[in-house]
Chain A
Amino acid sequence: MTRYLAVFPSLNQVALVKRALLREGVYVDMTRTPQCLSSTGCSFALRCSKGELGLLRKACVAAHIRLGGIFEEDAGTDGPVYRLAHPSHPADGREAGS
């Protein structure tokens, strides 16, 4: 099954959105962004299903968080394969805390 990786600039943002989703009854995994997707060095991500992306985006908008991108994650023969699904958050152009 295809999973999605929502990449954030900061772990603190990941923690905020994860807790916001938990309050909605949705559990998503935190993970470190695979190095091949992390253009800025270290970053963190939330792994979720397609159906959970809508809530995740909503939580980002509420907290003025601009995502680093959303990637599709499929199991490949030599490990996970990633494809950019959304380059950045579509609904908000303002970076939290900038």
Chain B
Amino acid sequence: MIYLDNAATSWPKPPAVVQAVCRALEAAGGNPGRTNHRLSFDAAQMIQECRENLARLFHIANPLRICFTANATEALNLALKGLLSPGNHVICSSMEHNSVWRPLVRLEEGGVEVSMATPGPCGTVSAAAVAAQLRNNTRLIAIVHASNVSGEITPVAEIGSLAHERGIPLLLDAAQTAGAIPINVETMHIDLLAFPGHKSLLGPQGTGGLYVSETVRLLALKEGGTGSDSSNQHQPDVLPDRFESGTLNTPGIAGLNQAALYLLGRGVEEVQQYEEQLTQRLVTGLAETGNVTVYGPTPGKTRAAVVSFNIGGMDSVRAAEELERRWDIACRPGLHCAPLAHRTLGTCKTGAVRFSPGPFTTTEEIDIAVRAVSELAEIG
């Protein structure tokens, strides 16, 4: 199979990730933070090691500010619902995924004011577009780092500077970029960083996290056992305990730890360059194919490793089915859980086919995929 669905979840995983998950289940089955035996302490040590490796990837000074979640969606919900209250104003973009948009709609129904910054002619949501939405009661700027539909990359550092100057926290949805595009929470002024473990970080599904800066205080969305401060009927204040009630996904985090080590060894910059080369080859090839419409940045312009397109008037689901049936290509059609982005691109009714290469995709696979689309466009 030619796997071009890394934006949904990355595959394959580095072998060390698979081995770590198996090893955690076979030989390291203790519950971290609950009991007093070696297996439990070993699990806690491994989880701390993972926090430290993720902190190195994102340039986070204090690893204890990273709270593990099941995925980026859970992290985004925690950030949005833990921070915003009625009367607050939040700015997002018109390229957000439903994992931001749906929580915001619910919050809006409860009295939170929501404004949307829209992309300019070049397709990018600029700091100026965000600034135009600022109000006196703006409590948060929540922005996607790269669209999961168009691959457009948001100028985070500029928006972060704007937020920092105004004393407004910046929440970055790094679902498509964590592990694939360098992120530095300090220089980019990111106060809340939501990331999945199973996409470009190359870890197992069921892993993710939220970085919370020292300046932000969030309400906990779930309460329960943390293995600490047990006689207190309220959640502990200390992080990450405050947001990690319940037993963590130890096998998943074991895999994520190895994935982080893999990326630290290979280098996120190298991954970005490799994927950029593949993506440009893909965009250029598709753009030169007759009867194919490619969305997002034009060939030659930097983008995340996401390329959405349509073949004439062909239904995007049918196109994806044909690509798998005839060429054994795995990709994702439809709205990609991002109707806002599709509305912005004018593809809300048709959806689109999305190819998303990963760090193990080859140029040969890209060429086969381009030829497949070309042949499918001819067959119709």
Min CB distance, A58 to chain B, in Å?
16
- Which of A15, A64, A97 has a CB less than 8 Å from the CB of B44? A15
Interface assignment of B292: CB less than 8 Å from any CB of chain A: no
Which of A5-13, A48-56, A81-89 forms contacts with chain B? A5-13
Provide the bound-state CA to CA distance between A15 and B248, in Å: 15
Interface assignment of A2: CB less than 8 Å from any CB of chain B: no
Q: Contact at B231–A30, with CB atoms within 8 Å?
A: no
Provide the bound-state CA to CA distance between A16 and B159, in Å: 32
B45: chain A residues at CB < 8 Å are 15, 18-19, 30
Provide the bound-state CA to CA distance between A32 and B31, in Å: 13
A43: chain B residues at CB < 8 Å are 228-229
- Which of B47, B229, B237, B242 has a CB less than 8 Å from the CB of A15? B47
Interface assignment of B49: CB less than 8 Å from any CB of chain A: yes
Interface assignment of B241: CB less than 8 Å from any CB of chain A: yes
Which of B57-65, B134-142, B168-176, B335-343 forms contacts with chain A? B57-65
Q: Contact at B36–A12, with CB atoms within 8 Å?
A: no
Interface assignment of B238: CB less than 8 Å from any CB of chain A: yes
Provide the bound-state CA to CA distance between A32 and B30, in Å: 14
B155: chain A residues at CB < 8 Å are none
Q: Contact at A16–B232, with CB atoms within 8 Å?
A: no
- Which of A19, A30, A32, A41 has a CB less than 8 Å from the CB of B229? A41
Min CB distance, A71 to chain B, in Å?
17
Interface assignment of A98: CB less than 8 Å from any CB of chain B: yes
Min CB distance, A46 to chain B, in Å?
11
A67: chain B residues at CB < 8 Å are none
B36: chain A residues at CB < 8 Å are 31-32
A98: chain B residues at CB < 8 Å are 237-238
Provide the bound-state CA to CA distance between A60 and B249, in Å: 27
Q: Contact at B44–A30, with CB atoms within 8 Å?
A: yes
Interface assignment of B208: CB less than 8 Å from any CB of chain A: no
A31: chain B residues at CB < 8 Å are 36
Residue of A nearest to B47 (CB): A15
- Which of A12, A30, A42, A95 has a CB less than 8 Å from the CB of B41? A30
Q: Contact at A13–B64, with CB atoms within 8 Å?
A: yes
Min CB distance, B140 to chain A, in Å?
20
> Given the interface contacts A12-B48, A18-B45, A97-B237, does A40 sit within 8 Å of B64 by beta carbon?
no
- Which of B41, B52, B65, B238 has a CB less than 8 Å from the CB of A13? B238
Q: Contact at A12–B242, with CB atoms within 8 Å?
A: no
Interface assignment of B251: CB less than 8 Å from any CB of chain A: no
Min CB distance, A47 to chain B, in Å?
12
Interface assignment of A70: CB less than 8 Å from any CB of chain B: no
> Given the interface contacts A14-B44, A15-B45, does A96 sit within 8 Å of B239 by beta carbon?
yes
Residue of B nearest to A19 (CB): B48
Q: Contact at A10–B238, with CB atoms within 8 Å?
A: yes
Residue of A nearest to B38 (CB): A30
Provide the bound-state CA to CA distance between A84 and B239, in Å: 26
Interface assignment of B32: CB less than 8 Å from any CB of chain A: yes
- Which of B49, B62, B228, B237 has a CB less than 8 Å from the CB of A11? B228
Interface assignment of A63: CB less than 8 Å from any CB of chain B: yes
Q: Contact at A96–B64, with CB atoms within 8 Å?
A: yes
Interface assignment of B230: CB less than 8 Å from any CB of chain A: yes
Q: Contact at A15–B238, with CB atoms within 8 Å?
A: no
Residue of A nearest to B37 (CB): A32
A64: chain B residues at CB < 8 Å are 62
Q: Contact at A11–B44, with CB atoms within 8 Å?
A: yes
Min CB distance, B336 to chain A, in Å?
35
Provide the bound-state CA to CA distance between A95 and B63, in Å: 14
Nearest 4 pairs between A and B by C-beta? Answer: A41-B230, A97-B239, A41-B231, A15-B48
Query: Given A12-B44, A63-B64, A96-B62, 11 other A-B contacts at CB below 8 A?
Result: A9-B238, A11-B44, A12-B33, A13-B64, A15-B44, A15-B45, A40-B228, A40-B230, A42-B229, A97-B64, A97-B240
- Contact sample, A vs B, 19 pairs, CB 8 Å cutoff: A10-B238, A11-B228, A12-B47, A12-B51, A16-B63, A16-B64, A19-B45, A19-B49, A31-B36, A32-B36, A40-B229, A42-B229, A43-B228, A64-B62, A96-B62, A96-B238, A96-B239, A97-B64, A97-B240
Chain A residues with CB under 8 Å of chain B are: 9-16, 18-19, 30-32, 39-44, 63-64, 95-98
